Structure 1
Amino acid sequence: MPSGKVRADLWPDVAQAPSSLRARAGGPIAKSLFQGAIKRLPLEVRFPDGSVLGLGGPRMVIADPSSFYARLAHNGLIGLGEAYMAHEWEAEDLAAVMTVFAARVSKLIPQPLQALRGAILPHQPHRERNTVSNSRNNISRHYDLSNELFAEFLDETMSYSSAYFADLDAPDFHLLASAQQAKIDRLLDLAGVTEGSHVLEIGTGWGELALRAAQRGARVYSVTLSSEQKELAERRIARAGFSDSVQIELLDYRKVQGTFDAIVSVEMIEAVGFEFMPDYFQTLAARLRPGGAVGLQAITIGHERMLATRNSYTWVHKYIFPGGMIPSAELIAEQSALNGLTVENRMAFGQHYAQTLRLWDEQFSRNAAQVDELGFDETFRRMWHFYLAYSRAGFASGYLDVQQFQLRKSKG
């Protein structure tokens, strides 16, 4: 389907390739840089004129080179994702193609040009800074899309974070729920959650962690900024008979009061933003009783790469997670120490996330008809497939990792 069939009212930057001066003047430069990079990569890139570039590997087919290069020139890697959404390039195995790019992302552009990224690439819009007033809208744009949408690719636990598999040898979807519960149980163990514990959960999700903590005999106070998640989580917890043990509130984590025996937070730190990272760790320290522990699960990135990209505005920011930033393990350790918390345990399991994302992507594809019935169009489905494949590539290549941390507050 050509990009002209994309609904311009819903997808204005996808429906038409950019025609700005930067796009027109930079198109030939983008072409030269892209083709120069491809010649060194284990890819097979095919063009409409029959020419082929690359060293061989996963196949990428460029259907509309002029629009493709205009998008790269205008918006960098944002343009790569928008070109895919617009059908200007295709891939039989999108995750495999993106993994090749992710493994070499710091070397695709010549070093002298990388120094110019801050001057020529877009920056985070002011409205997407994760201030208390902005964060609700940032979270809502993703998590309030539709509970029914997320149910079309998540397992019955409705867990939207990396699972932890007993066996990484190509697990299937039927194993995902138990692997999600294993991940949650390990995190609750790190936080020391037992019968009688008073637990703060920062980022409710759809309630599975709060439910499993309550099954241990804990009392849980969970905060979220997603009204859709809160509604479904409360229904799930009531159905399980734990409404007296779990309280869920629509509240920014910075507004929480009181102290708790344990704190758990699963892949919420990525929504905090670099600017507000001190606020997050100050909150952990202030809300945790002396001697207590935090069980933190976080997507991480290499420290130097984090520093180089912390102010970047990416395709993921624009279409999936506004205002986010992936921290490094070093940043987590540094901010923990500044606030009297010690990292006592850390486990990395990035390849488990690659498998989790594979299973989500396959399930999403299987349920394409149901997604259509929910009112999400074909451009949305291509966007979501790109998001899941793009994310999977990050973990499969080692560019990204996911880690569980145990942070301890001293007794003194």
Structure 2
Amino acid sequence: MTNRGRRIGRVGGGLPGIDRLFAALLARIDRGLAAGSIEVTLPGGGQRRLGGRAPGPGAVVDLRSWRALYRLATGGSAGWYEAWAAGEWASPDPVALFELFVANRHSLGDTARARFWSRLGRRLAHLARRNNPQKARENIAYHYDLGNDFYATWLDASMTYSSAMFEPGDTLEMGQAAKLAAILKRTNTQPAERILEIGCGWGSFAMLASGRGRRVHGVTLSAEQKRHVDAMALPGVDVTLTDYRALDGRYDAVVSIEMVEAVGREYWPAYLATIARVLKPGGRAAIQFIAFDPALFEAYARNVDFIQTYVFPGGLLIHEPEFRTIAERHGLRWEERYGFGPDYAETLRQWRERFDAADAEGRLPVDLDDGFRDLWRYYLMYCEGGFRGGGIDVVQVTLVKEG
């Protein structure tokens, strides 16, 4: 008899209905795995293979408590993280598990999404952190103001916190330099021309553009990022703590690298209206963003996932067709789309290696406890699996102001 055919037995400890609940959930996951497989060690010591119908990612999971499945069923990806943090499941390679679930996202359906009451509670909390001007500052500070010393231990020397663009054999530093050069090229600017950067991060693009003679006005809501860029004293660069909705003036070009994920769907029109308003006629905006599978976007947007709950409050990935429609409605012509999701998976892998090395060597800030470090390790693995599974993509596009 195969492992898939083996009886699960008294999985719920004998409580009425619990056996059937967990058996049904495992069977549902099994049916939903169109490609790839999971080798599961059950809490009672039994083994089961889920999936295995077609080639795909292979994951190994030690299910130490049935409560992990309860958390998954009721809390979705946030609940599955909570189970991991509680030691209720483990894996020698969680990335493979995340990749597997994302690769089978269509056949699995809403198996890993929160149920109604849990979703409602998380949704209400998420709505309380929607990105109006006041909350946007708080949400950005929650993620980016953890301390420049923290990010410096695992980002590359340029402190670039967005996907690199790799050629075979490139280091992380080389991939980040290539990405920034590609963004600058998209602006089609000349020395002495002025670029607005919405979400300037720790200044890596501003440093490149300044070194090539451009003037840059960078805006951020992170006091830590502004402090870092100010200390660089880059010629022709000024950084202000400014909400994108408050921007005015005229610029030859706009750059925004993975900032729009912090905007939120209801504010996409305001974000794109700002770009259209500040660009000179014929000016170009170079945008890099993370896109979610459009076919599943509505289900994603109705839920509040692990990242929104624990890492980036107020965040939401992009529905690319909708985002493009809004851009074109504001007179921004969509050109030169380039997706490079596998490069983000590699970027995340290298970030995680650096993060783990910094942790092992005691270089992470001492005020960050084990729980925080584990949360961020899980976050990096979770995102890597998402890109490897193809459910999310990273995209560069040029928006040209018509008229």
Instruction: Please give the per-residue CA displacement for 1:40-99, whole angstroms capped at 9, x wherever unaligned.
Output: 44111112322122246321111222x313322442221101111222111111111111
- Change in Cα spacing, 1:26 to 1:165, as seen in structure 2 (3 Å) is farther
Cα distance, 1:37 vs structure 2: 3.6
Partners of 1:189 and 1:127 in 2: CA distance:
39
Cα distance, 1:194 vs structure 2: 2.3
Instruction: Please give the per-residue CA displacement for 1:344-366, whole angstroms capped at 9, x wherever unaligned.
Output: 21101000000000101111111
Whether 1:375 and 2:370 are equivalent positions in the alignment is: no
Identify the range of structure 1 (69-78 vs 143-152) with the bigger mean alpha-carbon deviation: 69-78
- Change in Cα spacing, 1:46 to 1:187, as seen in structure 2 (3 Å) is same
Identify the range of structure 1 (50-59 vs 125-134) with the bigger mean alpha-carbon deviation: 50-59
Match in the other structure for 1:209: 205
Partners of 1:374 and 1:328 in 2: CA distance:
39
Instruction: Please give the per-residue CA displacement for 1:323-380, whole angstroms capped at 9, x wherever unaligned.
Output: 1111122122101111000012110100000000010111111111435552212221
Match in the other structure for 1:271: 262
Equivalent of residue 252 in structure 1, options 237, 243, 248: 243
Q: Given that residues 124 and 323 in structure 1 are in contact (C-alpha distance below 8 angstroms), is that contact kept between their aligned partners in structure 2?
A: no
Whether 1:50 and 2:51 are equivalent positions in the alignment is: no
Give the number of equivalent residue pairs: 375
Partners of 1:166 and 1:406 in 2: CA distance:
21
Paired letter, 1:59: V
Q: Given that residues 207 and 233 in structure 1 are in contact (C-alpha distance below 8 angstroms), is that contact kept between their aligned partners in structure 2?
A: yes
- Change in Cα spacing, 1:110 to 1:285, as seen in structure 2 (3 Å) is closer
Match in the other structure for 1:148: 149
Long gaps (5+) in structure 1: 1-23
Q: Given that residues 220 and 240 in structure 2 are in contact (C-alpha distance below 8 angstroms), is that contact kept between their aligned partners in structure 1?
A: yes
Question: 1:379-398 to 2 correspondence within 5 Å?
Answer: 379-398=371-390
**Structure 1 length-normalised TM:** 0.86
Instruction: Please give the per-residue CA displacement for 1:253-308, whole angstroms capped at 9, x wherever unaligned.
Output: 11112010000000001010011111101011001110000000001112222233
Cα distance, 1:28 vs structure 2: 5.8
Partners of 1:393 and 1:268 in 2: CA distance:
21
Partners of 2:290 and 2:110 in 1: CA distance:
27
Cα distance, 1:311 vs structure 2: 3.0
- Change in Cα spacing, 1:106 to 1:29, as seen in structure 2 (3 Å) is farther
Match in the other structure for 1:4: none
Instruction: Please give the per-residue CA displacement for 1:310-330, whole angstroms capped at 9, x wherever unaligned.
Output: 232111111111111111221
Runs (4+) of structure 1 exceeding 4 A deviation are 24-30, 116-120
Match in the other structure for 2:304: 313
Identify the range of structure 1 (144-153 vs 259-268) with the bigger mean alpha-carbon deviation: 144-153
Q: Percent identity?
A: 36
Match in the other structure for 1:106: 106
Partners of 2:133 and 2:48 in 1: CA distance:
48
Match in the other structure for 2:253: 262
Partners of 2:185 and 2:178 in 1: CA distance:
11
Whether 1:183 and 2:175 are equivalent positions in the alignment is: no
Instruction: Please give the per-residue CA displacement for 1:237-260, whole angstroms capped at 9, x wherever unaligned.
Output: 32xxx2x40000011111112010
Partners of 1:25 and 1:269 in 2: CA distance:
48
Identify the range of structure 1 (99-108 vs 117-126) with the bigger mean alpha-carbon deviation: 117-126
Q: Given that residues 61 and 89 in structure 2 are in contact (C-alpha distance below 8 angstroms), is that contact kept between their aligned partners in structure 1?
A: yes
- Change in Cα spacing, 1:33 to 1:260, as seen in structure 2 (3 Å) is farther
Cα distance, 1:119 vs structure 2: 6.3
Whether 1:401 and 2:396 are equivalent positions in the alignment is: no
Instruction: Please give the per-residue CA displacement for 1:4-23, whole angstroms capped at 9, x wherever unaligned.
Output: xxxxxxxxxxxxxxxxxxxx
- Change in Cα spacing, 1:178 to 1:327, as seen in structure 2 (3 Å) is same
**Structure 2 length-normalised TM:** 0.88
SS of the residue 1:128 aligns to? coil
Cα distance, 1:151 vs structure 2: 1.2
SS of the residue 2:302 aligns to? coil
Equivalent of residue 331 in structure 1, options 322, 333, 354: 322
SS of the residue 1:129 aligns to? coil
Match in the other structure for 2:163: 162
- Change in Cα spacing, 1:271 to 1:30, as seen in structure 2 (3 Å) is farther
Paired letter, 1:53: R
Cα distance, 1:39 vs structure 2: 3.0
Cα distance, 1:120 vs structure 2: 5.5
Paired letter, 1:212: L
Q: Given that residues 191 and 294 in structure 1 are in contact (C-alpha distance below 8 angstroms), is that contact kept between their aligned partners in structure 2?
A: yes
Long gaps (5+) in structure 2: 1-14, 53-57
